[in-house]
Structure 1
Amino acid sequence: MSDNCFLQALDQRRSVPSLQLGAPAPDDATLLRMLQSAVRVPDHGKMVPFRFLRLQGDARHALGEFLAQRSRERDPHAAEAAVEKDRQRFSHAPLVIAVIAHLRDNPKVPAQEQLLTAGCVCFALLQAAQGFGFGAQWLTAWMSEDPAVATHLGLAANERIVGFIHIGTPKIAVPDRDRPDPATLLQDWQP
């Protein structure tokens, strides 16, 4: 791949809203190939501080039911529309990959660095999905920080949800959005 093609792929990346992702999802072989690319991230100490949970089929709906119940526990006065939104969060895209940060004590690799490695996996998975012609969206929301959700998904005490990557076939062509001008973000440091 020429430099131009590589930069073009980066420049054309965009999120497809999970509401606009339908079937088909990647098959098993394609998903594994996508994950093979997604794990090629900076990983100080070769710690592999991440893992994946696949949510598809009825598992997505079961998680939605749990989220609706948990939403009511968190806020007994929550509007029915908010509870229903939580119930449906994982029902749109046919495949959701939860990227889990698996953090370990290491004097040379702080937890923050391990967490950033897992975040890089999320971004690389978005790129891989788009490279295969699928749409994808990286979402978190309250459920990524909720201890009850972590327990329900079987996470260990040293694990955190970094993102839910919703993957499917785009139902719409997503227009690009305004992007920041890097020249306005770049500063020179002077001692």
Structure 2
Amino acid sequence: MQNDVKLIDFLRDRHSTPVAQIKEPGPSQEELEAILTLATRVPDHGKLAPWRLVVYRGDVRKKLGEEFLALLLKKTPDMEDAAKEAELVRFTRAPLVVGVISTAAPHVKIPEWEQVLSAGAVCLNMLMAANAHGYVANWRTEWVAYDDVALQLLGVKPGEKVAGFIHIGSSDFPTPDRPRPELSQIVTYAGESNA
């Protein structure tokens, strides 16, 4: 019973830490593998594993920032300095970033939409698994998830989509909760009058 109360408390207080507030240290290799293992324990109709994970850490994050900036400078050569800096640090804001890549595709029995939802479940599970290991995390996409050239730089194959980039690290930032929807605004009961 006590474990149930802890889980209820965790779910009641769950929130994402702003990426700008995430810092070192990040998970060790052993912790990362445990986080990734837990993250992939999700509903997966047909046992397709319609997703894969790409870990971005170390110097590759800095190199990606330089490539993102070069890509944007071709389109917008007069970028402000702050915007340039934002590109350079896009993947270095946290000690590591995990790309959750949806590999959803037409299937004879499993609707593609269900495969996409499974990738989203991996993203949420990864946030919770990181938290369970004492780390903070944030689920982002941003423009790099939708740009064909950026996707190539990130190792995303044609036909795949980014479900999310999960930034993982540490923080002592007291993240305030944000307003949550009232149940009366989002819940209806089938067959009952909601007047």
**TM-score, normalised with respect to structure 1:** 0.93
1:85 aligns with 2:78: no
Q: State the shift of 1:77 in Å.
A: 4.0
Alpha-carbon contact 1:136-1:168 (below 8 Å) kept: yes
- Report sequence identity in percent: 37
1:51-80 Cα offsets, whole Å, 9 max, x none, are 111111111111111111122233344333
Q: Distance in 2 between matches of 1:5 and 1:52?
A: 29
Q: Distance in 1 between matches of 2:84 and 2:164?
A: 21
Unaligned residue ranges in structure 1 (runs of 5+): none
Q: How does 1:5-24 map to 2 (within 5 A)?
A: 5-24=6-25
Look up the SS of the partner of 1:44 in the other structure: coil
Q: How does 1:32-181 map to 2 (within 5 A)?
A: 32-181=33-182
Alpha-carbon contact 1:22-1:171 (below 8 Å) kept: no
Unaligned residue ranges in structure 2 (runs of 5+): none
Q: Distance in 2 between matches of 1:35 and 1:113?
A: 21
Q: Distance in 1 between matches of 2:3 and 2:169?
A: 27
Aligned partner letter, 1:31: L
Structure 1 runs of 4+ with >6 Å offset: none
1:144-174 Cα offsets, whole Å, 9 max, x none, are 1111111112222121111111000113121
1:9-40 Cα offsets, whole Å, 9 max, x none, are 21221111111111110001111111111111
Equivalent residue pairs, number: 191
For the aligned residues, what is the CA RMSD?
Answer: 1.7
Q: State the shift of 1:83 in Å.
A: 2.5
Q: Distance in 2 between matches of 1:81 and 1:2?
A: 46
Q: Distance in 1 between matches of 2:78 and 2:180?
A: 38
